[in-house]
Amino acid sequence: MAKTLFQKVWDAHAVRRLPNGQTQLFIGTHLIHEVTSPQAFGMIRDLGLKVKYPHRTFATVDHIVPTNELKEPYSDPIAQEMIEALRKNTKDYGIRFFDTNTGNQGIVHMVGPEQGITQPGTTIACGDSHTATHGAFGAIAFGIGTTQVRDVLATQTLALSPLKVRRIEVNGRLAPGVYAKDVILHIIRVLGVNGGIGYAYEYAGTTFDNFSLEERMTVCNMAIEGGARCGYVNPDQKTFDYIKGKPYAPKGADWDAAVARWKSFASDPGCQYDDIKVFKAEDIRPTVTWGITPGQAVFIDEKMPALETLSPADRQTAEDAYAHMKLAPDTPIKGTKVDVCFLGSCTNGRISDLREAAKYLKGHKVSDGVKAIVVPGSQLTAIQAVHEGLDKVFTEAGFEWRGAGCSMCLAMNPDKLVGDQLCASSSNRNFKGRQGSQTGRTVLMSPIMVVAAAITGQVADAREVFKV
Amino acid sequence: MSLAKITQVKALALAVPGDDIDTDRIIPARFLRCVTFDGLGEHAFRDERTGPDGKDRPHPMNSTQAARIAAAKKGVMVVGFNFGCGSSREHAPQSIWRFGFTAIVGGSFAEIFFGNSTALGVPCVTLAKEDLAECDAFVRANPDVEVAVDVEKLTVSAGARSWKAGIPASARDSLVNGKWDPIADLLDGAAAVDRTAGGLAYVEGK
């Protein structure tokens, strides 16, 4: 019978049926970081358990690391305590740790792909909701809570129920100035922030076929913002080419066997989906959020919605959003003054994002009064960017060039908004208070739109600013 | 491991309205800067409850009803749709539970939040939209009446009112049988886990 990738991966990893009807599912790759793992290790110790397969867990540090301070001890004692807890836990249990001194540290969702740990047809879990990023490689990857981190450490399995599969097809060529980020913001806008509850999203169509792995990662990354716990793209030659030669990629004869195995996981022609949605690439324009959920978004050349056009439930959330954002319904968002620009995160902190941003930034200056920071998602990305001279492009334009980490996406380190600053951000969440100030305001957009905002000091249409 | 069988939670209730309440709003990220879950209860909904000036804002979690629930260490939170969306942080249900809530009634729940709550023994049950509106209105009008969340019979009832509740069958089974923490069942499968792992070519890689 024809099956989806989700079903094949699920079946291959199903250990047994649990008494409550759920499946005990084998987790092939477990990724951990400093924020959601310490309590899990505490539970392991309290219960007298062991880590069952220490070589299937990989650790890095990303959320709390300062990006403008490389020497330890960090001036933030809590950050120091958290990184040391992870060092101790990984050492005690024999878990590989991509620490800050390895040159391989970074946002956990960048480290997996960079190291070749992220592979098609695998199950990947991490105590972080953006784990869906790894689905770009044809893995079933999803976020879990800390108690579940304990479950994976102790048993390499989780108790789960299968998801339905919704195929989201996007066909055609994106217009100049339109990027993967716009695609996912548009999908979330149309299907809603809760539209994906109960589903895995299979992204497909010619637009995805043409996307690089990094673009696929941007889209898969934000599946959770649409309510879907995981999103994936079927593996193809681009996937295999990306993995080949990475440190943890199979080598020699193992490589050919692995590619054959990976190919076999792709969804079969004629398989049944629980739902199918189809989009046209040419309908998508540069998209920005105006509210406090990622679904509250408009094309840059549209007005924000008038309240009376919204359903009663949406209207309530929108009123709350307009009050928080200090924006007015039925007006353009273009031209809104920007205080801070943040380029980075597991959504858009990869080398292709930095290259594209630098390409348009070159020869321009950050507008007076705008604080602009660029935070490469990983040390390897930072090294590559420096090698290409991108750091100079950013600093000459007036951006601050920082060390690798999550930074201002969630502001667990010193990178925070102040007061009601408005941030043009390439990250994934515009929730109230997300960027470290209770009254701070976030407008999500693509990297090139962040650059356009930095130069003009306002929410701008990059297509006009750069004549693309 | 012996766990309580959670068939029914009967307690005072508090309505915390709004759809798409994300886990950043339930527990802001700065409170994740910790290596234990201790003390999270007092910070549940911190930035919703407290203004930038440090003063209390009008919010249900600042009410005397919330204080009664905190003192009793049991309570029912009545919420909207897509509650607990966003970050997977277990700190969110931990903070609600440590504040004193032992069950949540809503229109729908984000999946990771739902799983995290169930593993704490906090049932999250859903009501149909109209029923949820009635329940919400009842709770506001009758703060002294206890609300019963019956996980076994799948009802939410208060006073003379009763509404049909939903919860996935597996979660219901786990709660009513005292097996909501899955670790014992997962450990039981250790031999089968090794067999599955043995059949997965990538597992023994580098």
The secondary structure of chain B as a DSSP string is: ------SEEEE-EEE---SS-BHHHHS-GGGG-SSS-TT-GGGTTHHHHB-TTSPBPS-GGGSHHHHHHHHHT--EEE--SSBTBS---THHHHHHHHHT--EEEES-B-HHHHHHHHHTT--EEEE-HHHHHHHHHHHHH-TTS-EEEETTTTEEEETTEEEEEE--HHHHHHHHTT--STHHHHHHTHHHHHHHHHT-TTTT--
DSSP string, A143-208: E--HHHHHHHHHHSEEEE-PPEEEEEEEESPPPTT--HHHHHHHHHHHH-TTTTTTEEEEEESHHH
The count of residues in chain B is: 206
pLDDT number for residue A70: 85
Low-confidence ranges of chain A (pLDDT < 50): none
At residue A312, the 3 state secondary structure works out as helix
Chain center to CA of A419: 26
**Residue whose C-alpha is closest to residue A337's, from A348, A349, A325:** A325
pLDDT number for residue B2: 78
Tokens 């548009």 appear where? A186
Asked whether the beta carbons of residue A24 and residue B185 sit closer than 8 angstroms, the reply is yes
Distance from CA of A175 to the nearest CA of B (A): 30
Asked whether the beta carbons of residue B29 and residue A412 sit closer than 8 angstroms, the reply is yes
Whether A287-465 and A5-161+236-263 are alike in CATH topology: the answer is: yes
Write out chain B residues lying below 8 Å of A129, CB-based: 86-88, 112
Cα–Cα distances in angstroms (integers) from residue A225 to residues A130, A409, B48, B86, B99, in the given order: 9, 14, 21, 6, 27
Could you tell me the sign of the dihedral formed by the alpha carbons of B175, B178, B184, B185, in that order?
negative
Residue B156 sits at the chain A interface (C-beta within 8 Å): no
Confidence band of B204 (pLDDT split at 50, 70, 90): low
Asked whether the beta carbons of residue A429 and residue B24 sit closer than 8 angstroms, the reply is yes
d(CA A322, CA A304): 10
Write out chain B residues lying below 8 Å of A151, CB-based: 182-183, 186
Question: 0.95 exceeded by the pTM?
Answer: yes
Reply yes or no on whether the pLDDT at B58 is more than 70.
Answer: yes
CATH fold group of domain A287-465: Aconitase; domain 3 (3.30.499)
pLDDT number for residue B205: 44
The b/e string for B53-80 (b: 16+ C-beta within 10 A; e otherwise) is: eeeeeeebbeeebbebbbeeebbbbbbb
Spatial neighbors of B53 by CB under 8 A, at least 6 apart, are none
Enclosing H/E stretch for A42: helix A38-46
Structure tokens at A328: 């007015």
Asked whether the beta carbons of residue A122 and residue B196 sit closer than 8 angstroms, the reply is no
d(CA A206, CA A197): 25
Confidence band of B1 (pLDDT split at 50, 70, 90): low
d(CA A348, CA A218): 6
Could you say which DSSP state residue A378 is in? B
Strand ranges (DSSP E) for A2-136?
Answer: 14-17, 23-26, 29-32, 57-60, 96-98, 123-126
d(CA B106, CA B131): 10
Report long-range pairs for B42-46 (Cβ below 8 Å, ≥24 apart): B42/B99, B43/B95, B44/B95, B44/B96, B44/B98, B44/B99, B45/B16
Beta pairing class for A422-425 and A340-344: parallel
- B85-141 pLDDT, tens digit per residue, is 999 999 999 999 999 999 999 999 999 999 999 999 999 999 999 999 999 999 999
**Residue whose C-alpha is closest to residue A327's, from A356, A305, A294:** A305
d(CA A448, CA A359): 9
Asked whether the beta carbons of residue B108 and residue A194 sit closer than 8 angstroms, the reply is yes
Domain A5-161+236-263 has CATH 3.30.499.10: yes
Q: In chain A, where are the structural domains located?
A: 5-161+236-263, 287-465
Average pLDDT of span B146-172: 98
Residue B98 sits at the chain A interface (C-beta within 8 Å): no
Tokens 């980020």 appear where? A181
Q: Which domains does chain B have, with CATH numbers?
A: 8-198 (3.20.19.10)
Residue B25 sits at the chain A interface (C-beta within 8 Å): yes
Asked whether the beta carbons of residue A145 and residue B116 sit closer than 8 angstroms, the reply is yes
Confidence band of B206 (pLDDT split at 50, 70, 90): very low
* Residue type (1 letter), A316: Q
Asked whether the beta carbons of residue A13 and residue B196 sit closer than 8 angstroms, the reply is yes
Structure tokens at A30: 């477990």
- Give the closest of B22, B110, B205 to A197, CB-based: B110
Predicted ipTM?
0.97
